[in-house]
Structure 1
Amino acid sequence: MNNTLLAVSLLCLATTACSESTQVSDDLAESSSYTDNPTGRTERVETGPTAKPVRIGEGGPRFDACQSVGEVGRHVSGSLPVLSAPFDAAEKIDSLAAGQTVYICTRSIDQQWFGIVYDKPADLAASAPVDCGVSSPVRAKRNYDGPCKSGWVESTYVVLVAG
């Protein structure tokens, strides 16, 4: 009897494991259009249907909000497109020239895309750099909402300079 019960239990477990599953996000911001902020309140973030905000703090509270710094390399079109989400069909929101410094805050699962934060003043030579607020730890993972711009770029065109 015990062997039969064990066999039935294993069969149920195997059937459940092979069935189609639904991926569940471990945080509110990725599973809906809501995000947390440092004050602990939840607020709605207005984004397009295909936009994916850049996340900061993925290394945890003991690491900088964005753990790496990169420099834009040469792109075939002359400037690197910054997109609203980590895929080719996403909306182009900006472009970056070769040599532009960026903070690398997150990566796509396939490592093909970097979620970046960057300062792009009108005149790079005449302006002092802006503190984007990602060079120190944050309490929890969250969408970037600081003073600088953010978006997604192809990782192939960014060279790691510090990390």
Structure 2
Amino acid sequence: MLLALALAGCSEAPPPADNGPVVAGEPLATRAVMIGTEGPSLPACSSISRVKAGGTDVYWAPGETRAVKAKLAGGEKVSLCEAAENDAWFGVVFAAPGTDPDMCGIGKSVPNAREYQGPCRWGWIRGGTVQLGA
């Protein structure tokens, strides 16, 4: 009974299963990736890039490295949507394994900048971990 009450008291829903952390640890901060920051006449995310050899970790927010949200292998495609901290971090959108990247919805324009809400995965990677425009 106490467990049910404790669980019912949680007001924040857990993240979707495909966005769950792959390494133990709770992030202290999260920041959604913004799309449409280049304006309504350009795609929501303006650059398709490839992860460099060796792969990269995806984090919940720029500078938040305590919990890894996902891992991307070298050569995987990501859409760069936002830059932070003088390009030290990039907000990216990427398809989950087995998902068509065209379903992410970031190749078309959006009327106003907004947080990316899916259906694909999103997160933050360190600058220098992708080959821009590849």
Q: TM-score, normalised by structure 2?
A: 0.74
By percentage of residues, which structure has more helix?
1
Q: Could you say if the C-alpha distance between residues 90 and 141 of structure 1 is closer, same or farther in structure 2, counting changes exceeding 3 Å?
A: farther
| AA aligned opposite 2:37 | E
Taking the aligned partners of 1:100 and 1:67, their CA distance within structure 2 comes to 17
Counterpart contact for 2:42–2:108, Cα < 8 Å: yes
Taking the aligned partners of 2:84 and 2:120, their CA distance within structure 1 comes to 21
Taking the aligned partners of 1:139 and 1:46, their CA distance within structure 2 comes to 29
Counterpart contact for 2:33–2:122, Cα < 8 Å: yes
User: For residues 92-146 of structure 1, what are the alpha-carbon distances to aligned partners after superposition, in whole Å with 9 as ceiling and x for unaligned?
Assistant: 100000000000000003211110000021x5xxx64442000010011100002
Q: Who wins on radius of gyration, i.e. which is larger?
A: 1
Counterpart contact for 1:51–1:90, Cα < 8 Å: no
**Residue number in structure 2 paired with 1:91:** 67
Q: Could you say if the C-alpha distance between residues 46 and 105 of structure 1 is closer, same or farther in structure 2, counting changes exceeding 3 Å?
A: farther
**1:157 and 2:133 are equivalent in the alignment:** no
Taking the aligned partners of 1:117 and 1:65, their CA distance within structure 2 comes to 10
- How many aligned residue pairs are there? 112
Aligned-pair Cα RMSD in Å = 2.3
**Residue number in structure 2 paired with 1:106:** 82
**Residue number in structure 1 paired with 2:106:** 134
> Equivalences for 1:7-156 in 2 at 5 Å?
49-75=28-54, 79-121=55-97, 123=98, 128-156=100-128
Q: Which has the higher contact order (CA 8 A, sep 6+)?
A: 2
Q: Could you say if the C-alpha distance between residues 84 and 62 of structure 1 is closer, same or farther in structure 2, counting changes exceeding 3 Å?
A: same
Secondary structure of 1:131's aligned partner: helix
Question: Percent of counterpart pairs with the same letter?
Answer: 32
Structure 1 residue runs of 5 or longer lacking an equivalent are 1-43
Taking the aligned partners of 2:115 and 2:96, their CA distance within structure 1 comes to 19
